[in-house]
Amino acid sequence: MLTGRRILIGIAGGSGSGKTLVARTIVRELGSDRVVIIDQDSYYRNLEDIPLRDRDARNFDHPDAFDQDLLRRHVRELLAGRSIAQPVYDYNEHRRLAETRNVGEHDVIVLEGILIFTDAELLALMDIKLYIDADPDVRFIRRLRRDLVERGRSVDSIIRQYEESVRPMHLQFVEPSKRHADVIIPEGGHNQVAIAVMKGMIRELLRERGTDVTPRVPAL
């Protein structure tokens, strides 16, 4: 493990932009024993005290939808080399499960989420800030497919949520936050040139902090 402070990489971008693909690329390049992904979605506020019929109406794309205090605390713990009990969120019922995910010590912490760049404290902790850019129609189609397949939602509910909260919150919070990015990556994980630049930045930081930078698998 690193002798100095671990590296925190922030990956922001709109819903369906390709953040997860970029995060997985980093893991595949450096090795899962060295890199851990922390998803901001795991830190949605627990809505189990609200009637189930009312939960779908909540705005899940506003910064207030997240338990930022817990997320900040967990990020600081990981950067200090301590383990955390990360929440496990149930998207279908909009609540936290009783079980948690134990996350231990890693060289690199990748924090991904639509609104991580709107939090000044998290921004100050990040060594590298990446914004994944994609056209709105591409993002909507990806979100539609994901919510249909993975979350069992109806087309009407997905469209309604997109029109009422996803799109307006993207324009108000997510899109403006990309001014904080060190690198803006169009086309997400499919942009090989940007991915190569990103990997070079990570390797240089690892080299500066005295850890091996040899990729675990062949570069993309």
Domains with residue ranges and CATH for the chain: 7-208 (3.40.50.300)
The per-residue pLDDT for range 30-70, each reduced to its tens digit, is 887 888 999 999 999 998 888 887 887 889 999 999 999 99
Asked if residues 12 and 111 have their Cβ atoms less than 8 Å apart, the reply is no
Residue 1 above 70 pLDDT?
A: no
What pLDDT does 205 receive?
83
User: Among 197, 211, 170, 139, which residue's Cα sits nearest to residue 63?
Assistant: 170
Asked if residues 31 and 216 have their Cβ atoms less than 8 Å apart, the reply is yes
What pLDDT does 3 receive?
42
- The Cα–Cα gap between 67 and 96 comes to 12
pTM, two decimal places: 0.88
What pLDDT does 217 receive?
40
Between the alpha carbon of residue 120 and those of residues 11, 105, 133, 139, the distances in Å are 15, 24, 21, 26
What pLDDT does 31 receive?
80
pLDDT band at residue 215, thresholds of 50, 70 and 90? Answer: very low
Residues 6 or more apart in contact with residue 87 via CB below 8 angstroms: 42, 43, 46, 67, 70, 96, 97, 100, 101
Work out the percent of the chain whose per-residue pLDDT is above 70.
Answer: 93
